[in-house]
Structure 1
Amino acid sequence: MDLTMLGSSLVQEDINKFVQNQGYGVKGLVDIIKIKTLPKQYIHPKEDRFNINNNNNNNNNCIPIIDMSNPNKELLEKSICEAAEKWGFFQIVNHGVPLEVLEEVKAATYRFFEEPVEEKSKYMKGKSTSNNVRYGTSFVPEMEKALEWKDYLSLFFVSHEEANLLWPTACRNETLEFLNSTEMITMRLMEILMRGLDIDEIDKRKTTLLMGSKRINLNFYPKCPNPELTFGVGRHSDVSTLTILLQDDVGGLYVRGLDGKSWTDIPPVKGALVINVGDALQILSNGKYQSVEHWVVANGSKERVSVPIFVSPMPKAIIGPFEELLERGETALYKQVLYSDYVKNFYKNVHDGKATIDFAKA
């Protein structure tokens, strides 16, 4: 392909081939073609774009920041459960994951996306030796009328042996270390949230339901020539139980405000992890804990990375409201569904707010 001609003509079919099929991603549009204006396939309808006027960050509308070293256990646990009920999002500090682990996985994310296209494209759909390792762009490009301004590497964790064999060497060790370092805080949060449901024991079955699988994504958001016309990730809620997110210092994550209309940003806090409730926990808790819409805006002056860990049920798990809740007389708001079916439904549609949860409604 003549990249010079592509840069001047911006033919849609050529751009799609360059970005998606050849694996250059949106990063290639910025670094190689050096586009000055946004290609039309990334321009979203005006009604779907982020409206900065709907940003609401007064003192009463800020995502909680929770200090996990608080010696007052009762107050700490209450603040976590209330945040999961009210906001669906909160940040944690003093969580036990070393700062150097966080910095190294961010550096490893940059390192992977700086790799030559010949290296990154080994992990594209149709080329990767495993469905558990996937490099791609946007969300579901074949379904989207307008694309998202993001490239990603998605790694489904099966075992350390498989990871050491299949994950890219540019980021493997740092990604595994981040994953390993979050195990204790993930379990602690799950135990606290279960006590908030008056469930005191996480037995083997609940462990499978709450955290039977993990997927870690390395997300890269290049600098965008017209950020007001597009976004990095569209409005959605996660399908996980919990998501453990590491932001960099650029920011750009916005969540649905308490009024249901405005958007509240989650400002980066050095050393913090962002925690959010996923659809699976909303279903398991019978609606007590709420997954919340969020999206990522594009940035016109800086590139950005983020590293989420999606802690989820096992794919073969059947999820529905916990029996203990129904035995106390609660009416089931959700039916029993195979978790892999729920996830497949999520990935066969474009990002559309919280529409996926309807798949599980009773």
Structure 2
Amino acid sequence: MAPSISQTITDSSDLTEFVISKGNGVKGLSQMGLKSLPKQYIQPVTERKVSMKITNLPEESIPIIDMSNLEDPKVAESICNAAEKWGFFQLLNHGVPIEVLEHVKQATHRFFELPAEEKSKFSKENSSSTNVRFGTSFSPEAEKALEWKDWLSVFYISEDEASAHWPAACKDEVLEYMKRTDILIKRLLGMLMKRLNVTEIDKTKEALLMGSKRINLNYYPVCPDPELTVGIGRHSDVSTLTILLQDYTGGLYVRAGTASDEDRWVHVPPLEGSLVINIGDALQIMSNGKYKSVEHRVVANGNQTRISVPIFVNPRPSDVIGPLPEVLASGEKALYKQVVYSDYVRHFFRKAHDGKDTVDFAKI
């Protein structure tokens, strides 16, 4: 008897052709009715959910902050405290309309429901722009075990460039989402900078903190054996800030442990209308470690598809990042050297997810 298509895909190098080259992604695998997980996706035991020490203590949940009263100084204080202690927090009443959030979630599903040949038009080999990429896992060339995720990544240059090259299935909603978060991003950075003795964010500082943006549409289809793999492996973001919209499926976990107990993880519960904010490596470096970028991961799901839409707020590729002069003005010793941001990002994407090891690239 001839092998079924699922046997052919999972038992040979044809998996790479099917998943990556032909644009089917893990969504294509998920729809094949596989009874077991292809070996290429089986993670080491240490990276699986079974190895996570998950804590459900109320005091070990990331802060949930209501921004409805911006005049209250406690709002800014709570945000800065969360950035220092947790590196993660959720915002309610943040000013981005719920309908904008819902529309971009719908657009994400719409893009990933396109036929494989349509999505593959945006792959590295076929995309009409280097700023638009459709792919799967994180860095398949560098990974020993693949992650159970497909993604579309768009780097914002201008509205004209986006209109010309971003996928029609989602570009309007993604652009609107990006525009409507701009005020929020500036407010957050203003609050965070004040605690670092930066009293005014001039054009030069603004360009350094948020001179470029990249938006991902992440798609985690139902997995045949979620206990053996991951949606995203342990990592911290290389951004200044990340603004994350997640659906109601759940599955995002943040490392909560201290140096003496680093294996505790807390779930970030999906809340209606909320946005999850996390500090990236760039801001950890610029704050000289005052604000923390924190490891996080996404588990695979055997029952539901999950989507998320992060906006990565970054320095410009050519910017040099290091501890801000205002932070070191009191004589504090610099913990990080000056590095070209594009060099830092290149180092991150050159390897598989490895927790917070990337930040060592910038340490003195």
Question: How big is the shift at 1:73?
Answer: 2.4
Q: Is the 8 A contact 1:12 1:41 kept in 2?
A: no
1:213-232 aligned at under 5 Å gives the runs: 213-232=212-231
SS at match of 1:182: helix
Find the counterpart in structure 2 of residue 20 from structure 1: 20
Q: Distance in 2 between matches of 1:110 and 1:351?
A: 25
Question: How big is the shift at 1:40?
Answer: 0.3
Q: Is the 8 A contact 2:45 2:51 kept in 1?
A: no
1:115-134 aligned at under 5 Å gives the runs: 115-134=114-133
Q: Is the 8 A contact 1:6 1:14 kept in 2?
A: no
SS at match of 1:176: helix
Find the counterpart in structure 1 of residue 338 from structure 2: 336
Output one character per residue of 1:46-92: Cα deviation in whole Å (capped at 9) or x when no partner. Answer: 12212376101211101100001135522111100000000000000
TM-score normalised according to structure 2 size: 0.97
The answer to whether the aligner puts 1:167 opposite 2:169 as a matched pair is: no
Q: Distance in 1 between matches of 2:38 and 2:349?
A: 24
SS at match of 1:125: coil
Structure 1 stretch displaced more, 134-143 or 253-262: 253-262
**Residue identity opposite 2:175 in structure 1:** L
SS at match of 1:232: strand
SS at match of 1:153: strand
Aligned residues: 359
Find the counterpart in structure 2 of residue 44 from structure 1: 43
Identical-residue share of aligned pairs (%): 59
Q: Is the 8 A contact 2:52 2:263 kept in 1?
A: no
Find the counterpart in structure 1 of residue 328 from structure 2: 326
Q: Distance in 1 between matches of 2:71 and 2:104?
A: 32
SS at match of 2:310: strand
- Runs of at least 4 residues off by over 4 Å: none
SS at match of 1:17: helix
Find the counterpart in structure 1 of residue 75 from structure 2: 76
Find the counterpart in structure 2 of residue 191 from structure 1: 190
Q: Is the 8 A contact 2:52 2:265 kept in 1?
A: no
Q: Is the 8 A contact 1:254 1:263 kept in 2?
A: yes
Q: Is the 8 A contact 1:104 1:174 kept in 2?
A: yes
Q: Distance in 1 between matches of 2:42 and 2:11?
A: 15
Q: Is the 8 A contact 1:91 1:275 kept in 2?
A: yes
Structure 2 residue ranges without an equivalent (≥5): none
Q: Is the 8 A contact 2:84 2:291 kept in 1?
A: yes
The answer to whether the aligner puts 1:290 opposite 2:289 as a matched pair is: no
Q: Distance in 2 between matches of 1:255 and 1:99?
A: 24
Structure 1 stretch displaced more, 286-295 or 253-262: 253-262
Give the alignment partner of residue 309 of structure 1, picking from 300, 308, 311.
Answer: 311
Q: Distance in 1 between matches of 2:257 and 2:337?
A: 27
**Residue identity opposite 1:130 in structure 2:** S
Q: Distance in 2 between matches of 1:360 and 1:310?
A: 19
Find the counterpart in structure 2 of residue 254 from structure 1: 253
**Residue identity opposite 2:139 in structure 1:** V
Question: How big is the shift at 1:357?
Answer: 0.1
